[in-house]
């Protein structure tokens, strides 16, 4: 990737141009008020501090003003003010060589000082700190602008995931899972506990397969989104070639974070398990609640590790450290944006998938009533029809969640490390200097 900015150069900031407060050239010696040289005439003796030369032009060379003003006539009123505070000086006020001043955010927009000039937008987002709506819009714009690549990646991953899930449920998991005890009022506690364990095991296997698919889709869509920020197209083959070297590290990162989360939950429940009895159950419940809060805090803290690993070509440990550094001081903002994006994506996916689930229940043995009360098993018809709905829903969830995560990562680097300057130079935007950012390591 020769057209991608130097993601692996954190902390880059503009250093060219004259800084505010820099010394200016000295005044020429022949100007009034300048330093008097040795060969100049002495000051006129009329008064101290005067610098007039003794050689004055002859009186004939002076002429009276062409329009002498009548002292009795009041001065003409000033012209009405124009909008803004007047034109800006060339190059802005006291900043490097960016449009309008520092990093493109100086004073003096065209036409006045009413605000900063509009930021450059070579791709799906403007190159400045982003708002919540701009991050969501950037994820949707990426899907809309590069729909062939985005939908191709999402569709391929979703189809593979759903085929594996349907085959496992139809051939293996359904025979190992019995859910009738959950709706049978005469079932014993052991039977209901065993049925609940079967359901959790089934859901866990499905969730693990879906997680693997999400990892692959995120890795490929990260490259697409990073190119979309620069306004550069990317094909599925290019996205795969760029993501493939980091794929195993990304798997290791996700499973390492999941292992940490599981360890925190075990530590939270362990004191109650050791105590036992009613008091132990209450203590375990409180411990799990506290551990769940800790898990959420850790997941948000490490939520930007995936794009850091993919774009900066770093290892697992360094990617976790980069995410923690970028999220520090903005935890609630990152948490809120990611929660909002997950809610929107899953609501849209659920709206798409629910009709397929109902249709699958209607087409199942016994109809929708038997499917609702649990007396009908999950047949192939239901699995296939509901799987189609899941595939369509994944076409929405994969691009939005991956796009929001990547754009959050870029936004945090713009806010902390002035990454917008590197992005603008990589995109070829005028006015950001001629120094091109270096290519990605390993690209």
> Under a CB-based contact definition with an 8 Å cutoff, are residues 268 and 294 in contact?
yes
pLDDT digits (tens, 9 = 90+) for 380-423: 788 888 889 889 988 888 999 999 999 999 999 999 998 988 89
Structure-block tokens of residue 170: 């139809």
Instruction: Give the predicted TM-score (pTM) of the model.
Output: 0.68
pLDDT digits (tens, 9 = 90+) for 116-125: 567 888 989 9
pLDDT digits (tens, 9 = 90+) for 129-172: 999 999 999 999 999 999 999 999 999 999 998 898 888 877 87
Distance, CA of 378 to CA of 381 (rounded, Å): 8
- Beta carbons within 8 Å of 197's beta carbon, 6+ residues apart: none
Nearest residue to 404 via CA among 327, 329, 342, 324: 342
Structure-block tokens of residue 192: 């209901």
> Under a CB-based contact definition with an 8 Å cutoff, are residues 382 and 371 in contact?
yes
Q: What is the DSSP letter of 76?
A: P
- Coil/strand/helix, residue 317: helix
With 50 as the cut, is the pLDDT of residue 26 above it?
A: no
pLDDT value at residue 30: 44
- Coil/strand/helix, residue 98: coil
pLDDT value at residue 306: 92
pLDDT value at residue 31: 43
Distance, CA of 193 to CA of 13 (rounded, Å): 59
């Amino acid at each position: 990737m020769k057209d991608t900015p130097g993601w692996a150069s954190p902390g880059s900031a503009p250093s060219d141009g004259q800084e505010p407060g820099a010394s200016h050239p000295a005044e020429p010696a022949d100007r009034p008020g300048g330093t008097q040289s040795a060969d100049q005439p002495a000051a006129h003796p009329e008064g101290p501090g005067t610098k007039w030369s003794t050689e004055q032009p002859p009186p004939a060379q002076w002429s009276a003003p062409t329009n002498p003003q009548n002292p009795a006539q009041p001065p003409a009123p000033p012209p009405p003010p124009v909008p803004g505070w007047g034109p800006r000086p060339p190059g802005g006020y006291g900043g490097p060589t960016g449009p309008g001043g520092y990093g493109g955010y100086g004073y003096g927009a065209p036409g006045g000082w009413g605000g900063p000039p509009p930021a450059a937008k070579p791709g799906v987002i403007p190159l400045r700190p982003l708002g919540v709506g701009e991050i969501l819009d950037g994820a949707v714009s990426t899907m809309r602008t590069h729909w062939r690549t985005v939908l191709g990646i999402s569709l391929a991953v979703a189809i593979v995931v759903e085929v594996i899930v349907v085959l496992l449920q139809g051939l293996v998991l359904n025979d190992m899972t019995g859910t009738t005890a959950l709706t049978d009022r005469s079932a014993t506690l052991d039977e209901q506990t065993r049925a609940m364990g079967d359901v959790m095991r089934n859901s866990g296997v499905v969730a693990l397969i879906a997680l693997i698919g999400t990892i692959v889709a995120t890795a490929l869509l990260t490259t697409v989104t990073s190119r979309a920020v620069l306004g550069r197209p990317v094909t599925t083959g290019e996205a795969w070639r760029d993501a493939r070297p980091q794929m195993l590290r990304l798997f290791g990162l996700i499973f390492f974070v999941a292992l940490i989360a599981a360890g925190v939950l075990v530590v939270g429940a362990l004191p109650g398990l050791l105590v036992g009895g009613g008091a132990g159950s209450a203590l375990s419940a409180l411990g799990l609640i506290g551990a769940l809060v800790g898990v959420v805090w850790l997941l948000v803290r490490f939520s930007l590790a995936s794009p850091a690993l993919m774009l900066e070509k770093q290892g697992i440990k360094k990617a976790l450290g980069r995410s923690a550094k970028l999220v520090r001081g903005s935890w609630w903002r990152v948490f809120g944006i990611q929660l909002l994006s997950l809610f929107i994506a899953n609501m849209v996916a659920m709206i798409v998938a629910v009709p397929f689930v109902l249709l699958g229940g209607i087409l199942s043995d016994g109809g929708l009533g038997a499917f609702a009360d649990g007396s009908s098993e999950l047949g192939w018809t239901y699995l296939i029809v509901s799987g189609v709905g899941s595939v369509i829903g994944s076409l929405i969830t994969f691009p939005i969640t991956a796009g929001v995560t990547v754009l959050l990562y870029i936004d945090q680097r713009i806010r902390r490390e002035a990454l917008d300057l590197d992005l603008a130079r990589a995109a070829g935007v005028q006015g950001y200097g001629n120094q091109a950012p270096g290519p990605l390591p390993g690209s």
